[in-house]
Chain A
C-alpha cells in the first residue's frame, strides 16, 4: 500500500545552517506530494507541493523536488531561522481521485540562535 517514511527527529541546527529533511514514499502510479508544517499549538499548514515527476515545490525559502527514480521528496532550506522551528510532515495523495492523504510521522526541527 501507499506509505511515507521520514527521517526521525529531532533535528537541531544553528541559525543559518543548511537543512535537509529526508522523505521517501511508496505508491503506485503518480501521487501528488506535499510538505506540511505544524508550528507549536497550531494545526498543520501546507508548505509546498509537487504534482508530477521533476516538479519543484517552493515556499518561504524551502524547496523539495519530486524524484520518481528515487521515490523521494526531500525538504531543503539554505539558511534556517529560529522561526522555522516546527514539526514538518511529508505527505502524499494518490491522483486516482482518492481523498486519502498519507502522512509521515513528522520530523521536529529545532533551530538555535
Chain B
C-alpha cells in the first residue's frame, strides 16, 4: 500500500493567491482528517470527513479555508486568498472504520510570502 499521498510536498506562494492542497487516503479508509502543524500551536484538527461527508469543520480558521471530498479517494483543502499567517505544514490523515490508528501523509509545507 502506498500510504496516504499528499501533494505538493512544498508550496511557495504570494499573499492573496489561491492555494490547493491535495490528499489521497489509503484505499478502504472511510475517515479523513486535515491537520495543520505550526510551532506555536502544534497539531490542530481543521476538518474531519466520514464517508466523504464533512462531520466537523469547527477547526477551519475562517471562511478563506474550504475543504472537499468528492469521492472516497480524494480530498482537497483550499485557501483563498492566502495570507502569510497560513504558512504551516498541512497534514492529511486517514483511518479505517473505528480503528484508532491514524495514518498520516508526509505533509505539505506551505509558505505564503
Contacts and interface: CB of A to CB of B under 8 A. Distances in A.
Contact of A89 (B33, B41, B43, B45): B43
Interface residues of A, number: 20
User: Size range of the interface on B?
Assistant: 20 to 34
20 contacts: A32-B100, A34-B100, A42-B106, A43-B4, A43-B93, A43-B107, A45-B104, A46-B101, A49-B100, A49-B101, A89-B43, A93-B100, A99-B31, A99-B33, A99-B48, A99-B50, A99-B56, A103-B43, A104-B42, A105-B41
Interface of A: 32, 34, 36, 41-46, 49, 51, 89, 93, 99-101, 103-106
A106 B101 contact: no
Nearest to A102: B45
Determine the main DSSP class of A at the interface with B: strand
A93 B91 CA distance: 18
Interface of B: 4, 31, 33, 41-43, 45, 48, 50, 55-56, 91, 93, 100-102, 104-107
